[in-house]
Amino acid sequence: MSTFVEQWIEEAARLTQPAHIVWCDGSEEQEQRILWQMLEERHTLRLNERTYPNCYLHRSSPTDVARSEKATHICSRSESDAGPTNHWIAPAEAKEKLTALFRGAMEGRTMYVVPYIMGPPDSPLAQAGVELTDSSYVVANMRVMARMGRVATERVKSSGDFVRGLHSLGDLSPDRRFIMHFPEERLIWSVGSGYGGNALLAKKCHALRIASWMAREQGWLAEHMLILGLEDPSGRVTYMAAAFPSSCGKTNLAMMVSALEAQGYRVWTVGDDIAWMRIGADGRLRAINPEAGFFGVAPGTSLSTNPHVVAAIQRNTIFTNCGLTAAREPWWEGMSPEPPAGLFDWQGRPWSPGQVPAAHPNSRYTVPAAQVPAISPHWEDNEGVPISAFIFGGRRSRLTPLVYEALDWNHGVYIGATLASETTAAATGDLGVTRRDPMAMLPFCGYHMGDYFQHWLDLGSRVPRPPKVFHVNWFRKDADGQFLWPGFGENVRVLKWILERIEGKGSALETPIGLLPSPGALTLDGLNFTGEQMEILLHVDPNDWTEEHAGIGRFFETFGERLPQELLDEHGQLGERLAHAASAPRHSVGKGGKTPRKD
């Protein structure tokens, strides 16, 4: 008698008609065979074996270079459960549509069975999954990004408790590309793309969309967040989780080389993209990184922006859509001041300086987490690390100050729910337009976002020691369009203030939008900063914020009845504080001082 997983594989094989079925065991030997297969298919080449040992460059189809939000659907039984921020198709209709696309799609090809575990295998938060795919590139990436093979095989054979993903490249046409999630069945069907979050089904599809649905049912959180540990001079490490939309610097923040290292502050990396969190026995929110690797944006990555990842990606790394030098090394904009001579672009064509970049703006590296020198010694702790702060952030060239703190949990949820950012190349669509991206989960929340906000509000009352909530903006620009804040390793100065606030030490000023560092509260020594520049960075303009407030009101309307009353209350209170801003002078709420409301 065959098991649940075997029956499902048989059924998928009957539909897609592969010539071979290969169970992936995660072994080195099989890995080498899969890499050979990848090289045979001619979209992948081996990089310089001396300078980049065991590294590969893969070139995707030119129309398949980023996540496709238009093609992504939540196929819950009830349309209203998907909510206004997701595309929805009825499950039966979605299956009918994709059955036609899957039929015979793997003829003459190999179907790989990829069993995997998200999270440290013995963690109570870990989950199993199986992806069936006809892409050797997907297998090679999954082996880095998830714990693949034997560790997972026994689990998926002995229990039906795993997420199923069926993936085929199809004909790679954007017109026949669909990423369908069936949250009630813990099932994902994806066809027509071989790229990133569209195809590595363990990542955004399982670990965020399906997991967020499960997290709501089961009382935990699956979030689009990095996890870092900030070590202080006494050697104590405080963990923070931060949500930024795709390609806003989560990886660089998580791996930062601290500008205050001489003073004893350093950053440890736990995760760079996804956090699964639940209330621990100690009453604190405990977070694991479900992934085993980093799928990071390449352009802009250099020794000065992220030396830790540069050290990591010298070996065992898959590069996708980067440029290629004459020495068979990867190259992208920002790696070195001058492009080397004899460069090929991301499609393999000889490149010359001009309008178009050599590397695709969403080109990526896939690297094992353990290779990052700053990886936390606790990154695989089964219980997870205790989270003391949530940080929300986006790209805002105007309006939003460098950092501010929420007045309390509900206000923090409001700040997260109204997060906005200027769009980047991580998804296809317009660049640089401001879009609201609640908790950076807009493309990843697998259910109605109004219910998601309620879940966050409820959780706050269930966690005995909830994290404090902050908002940061590294991207504010001056009147000449120049970034005001140096960013990268200097961001530790903001983390230090956050740490001091957690410890009840840092001093803050009350403004209508929340608590800002009081003058002198941010450690700026060693930085060439005038008081005037700091003033602009921290400025809160009541007029601009009144406009923002109105925009938030319109955004909230899209959620209708399912927008929690608590958020409407927060919205009303912000409106009142803004209206009074002109008459009420700012006052200090520093050490031991009073905050306007329960802290």
**Complex with ligand SAT: residue 141 or 371, whichever CB lies closer:** 141
CA separation, residue 3 to residues 153, 158, 249, 424 (Å): 12, 8, 43, 44
If one asks whether residue 246 binds Mn ion (CB under 5 A), the answer comes out as yes
If one asks whether residue 510 binds Mn ion (CB under 5 A), the answer comes out as no
If you count DSSP H runs as helices and E runs as strands, how many of each does the chain have, helices first? 16, 29
If one asks whether residue 426 binds ligand SAT (CB under 6 A), the answer comes out as yes
CA separation, residue 42 to residues 57, 136, 169, 299 (Å): 11, 12, 15, 24
- DSSP letter for each residue of 46-99: E--TTTSTT-EEE---TT--SB-STTEEE--SSHHHH-TTSEE--HHHHHHHHH
d(CA 342, CA 349) in angstroms, rounded, equals 10
Q: Report how many residues bind ligand SAT under the rule CB under 6 A.
A: 8
Choose which of 18, 194, 196, 393 interacts with ligand SAT (CB under 6 A): 196
d(CA 253, CA 498) in angstroms, rounded, equals 14
Minimum Å distance from CB 196 to ligand SAT? 2
Minimum Å distance from CB 444 to Mn ion? 8
Minimum Å distance from CB 295 to ligand SAT? 5
If one asks whether residue 209 binds ligand SAT (CB under 6 A), the answer comes out as no
Contacts of 26 (CB under 8 A, 6+ apart): 143, 147, 148, 149, 150, 151
d(CA 389, CA 101) in angstroms, rounded, equals 45
Minimum Å distance from CB 84 to Mn ion? 22
If one asks whether residue 395 binds ligand SAT (CB under 6 A), the answer comes out as no
Minimum Å distance from CB 348 to ligand SAT? 21
Minimum Å distance from CB 253 to Mn ion? 13
Task: Pick what 196 binds: Mn ion, ligand SAT, none; C-beta below 5 to 8 Å, kind-dependent.
Answer: ligand SAT
d(CA 553, CA 202) in angstroms, rounded, equals 35
CA nearest to 389, candidates 532, 277, 520, 489: 277
**Complex with Mn ion: residue 229 or 443, whichever CB lies closer:** 443
**Complex with Mn ion: residue 31 or 273, whichever CB lies closer:** 273
**Complex with ligand SAT: residue 167 or 204, whichever CB lies closer:** 204
Residue 157: which H helix or E strand, with range? Answer: helix 150-158
If one asks whether residue 273 binds Mn ion (CB under 5 A), the answer comes out as yes
CB atoms within 10 A of CB 153: 20
Piece in contact with Mn ion (CB under 5 A), picked from 164-172, 226-234, 273-281, 513-521: 273-281
**Complex with Mn ion: residue 273 or 291, whichever CB lies closer:** 273
Cα maximum dimension of the chain: 77
Minimum Å distance from CB 424 to ligand SAT? 9
Task: Pick what 323 binds: Mn ion, ligand SAT, none; C-beta below 5 to 8 Å, kind-dependent.
Answer: none
If one asks whether residue 203 binds ligand SAT (CB under 6 A), the answer comes out as yes
Structure tokens at 540: 């809160």
Q: Report how many residues bind Mn ion under the rule CB under 5 A.
A: 2
If one asks whether residue 258 binds Mn ion (CB under 5 A), the answer comes out as no
Minimum Å distance from CB 385 to ligand SAT? 22
**Complex with ligand SAT: residue 76 or 247, whichever CB lies closer:** 247
Q: Is 317 helix (H, G, I), strand (E, B) or coil?
A: coil
Please indicate whether residue 248 is annotated as part of the active site.
yes
**Complex with ligand SAT: residue 258 or 424, whichever CB lies closer:** 424
**Complex with ligand SAT: residue 295 or 351, whichever CB lies closer:** 295
């803050």: which residue's tokens? 508
In the shown chain, the binding pattern of residues 3 to 42 toward Mn ion, with x for contact by CB under 5 A and - for none, equals: ----------------------------------------
Minimum Å distance from CB 64 to ligand SAT? 11
- 147 by Cβ neighbours in 10 Å (0-12 / 13-18 / 19+) ranks as buried
Yes or no: say if 190 and 165 are a contact pair by the CB < 8 Å rule.
yes
Q: At what angle do helices 449-462 and 409-417 cross, to 10 degrees?
A: 160
CA nearest to 253, candidates 234, 235, 229: 229
If one asks whether residue 94 binds ligand SAT (CB under 6 A), the answer comes out as no
Residue 565: which H helix or E strand, with range? Answer: helix 565-581
d(CA 275, CA 268) in angstroms, rounded, equals 15
If one asks whether residue 155 binds ligand SAT (CB under 6 A), the answer comes out as no
CB atoms within 10 A of CB 158: 11
Residues 41-80 that bind ligand SAT (CB under 6 A): 67
If one asks whether residue 192 binds ligand SAT (CB under 6 A), the answer comes out as no
Piece in contact with ligand SAT (CB under 6 A), picked from 130-138, 196-204, 213-221, 391-399: 196-204
If one asks whether residue 246 binds ligand SAT (CB under 6 A), the answer comes out as yes
Catalytic residue among 24, 55, 205, 248: 248
What is the amino acid identity at position 453?
F
Piece in contact with Mn ion (CB under 5 A), picked from 87-95, 243-251, 317-325, 474-482: 243-251
If one asks whether residue 295 binds ligand SAT (CB under 6 A), the answer comes out as yes
If one asks whether residue 177 binds ligand SAT (CB under 6 A), the answer comes out as no
CA nearest to 443, candidates 460, 421, 476: 421
Residues known to be catalytic: 248
Binding site for Mn ion (CB under 5 A): 246, 273
Binding site for ligand SAT (CB under 6 A): 67, 196-197, 203-204, 246, 295, 426
